[in-house]
Amino acid sequence: MQKTACPIGNGLNACWQKREDNAMQGFSLTPKQIHVVRIDPGEDVLNSVTVYVREAGIRQAVVMGGYGTLAAYSLHWVTHNRIPTENRFDNGEGGIEILAMNGLIVDGDPHIHVALATEAGAFGGHMEPGCKAYVICEMFLAEISGGILHRERVPVNIAGMGKGMISRLTT
């Protein structure tokens, strides 16, 4: 791997860790401001975060975490390890604990994963509209600078998994 210095104030493109095999890449960004977001009982968590991000003018951020409770959940997750992917969607109601939240906000669009628990056990997935806050729900976002992130669909052909289009974080 070819290492590239990433001084503050330099463009993100110069910060990519380039690989000859065009596989995994990494980069450095700078935390700009921390946002604490309270979602009130009955509010849709994903919708509330989307509105906050838009009103605060946030284009990119790291979802550092979140906790609380949900009255209802709506999630999706992949069902196998082949390309193209196949997603399963599920939802439910009841007293649901939020154990963890993480993800990214790219181009102002939240992509959040969540770990949840009920009396029956723990589970998680990609947050969908329909996750309704219950008693308390709070999230922490670190707005970031140092480059512009995007998601784009790219073709892949991976031995043992198949070929198709996937979403890839780019600059």
Q: Provide φ and ψ at 143, rounded to 5°.
A: -65, 140
Q: Is the peptide bond before 110 cis (omega within 30 degrees of 0)?
A: no
The stretches of the chain forming alpha helices (DSSP H) are 45-56
pLDDT averaged per 10 residues, the chain (length 171): 46 50 78 97 98 97 98 96 94 97 97 97 98 98 92 92 92 78
The phi-psi region of residue 161 (left if phi > 0; otherwise alpha if psi is between -120 and 50; otherwise beta) is: alpha
How much is the pLDDT for 14?
40
- Tell me the longest C-alpha to C-alpha distance in the chain: 50
How much is the pLDDT for 64?
97
How much is the pLDDT for 1?
42
How much is the pLDDT for 146?
87
Provide the Cα torsion 17, 20, 22, 24; round to 10°.
Answer: -40
Which CATH fold would you assign to the domain 36-140? 60s Ribosomal Protein L30; Chain: A; (3.30.1330)
How much is the pLDDT for 15?
52
What's the CA gap between 131 and 127, in Å, rounded? 7
- Which residues is 164 bridged to in the sheet? 156
How much is the pLDDT for 4?
46
Q: What is the residue extent of each domain of the chain? A: 1-29+146-171, 36-140
How much is the pLDDT for 21?
63
pTM of the model: 0.85
The DSSP H or E segment spanning 154 is strand 150-158
Q: How far is CA 60 from the centre of its chain?
A: 11
The pair of structure tokens assigned to 40 is 């009130």
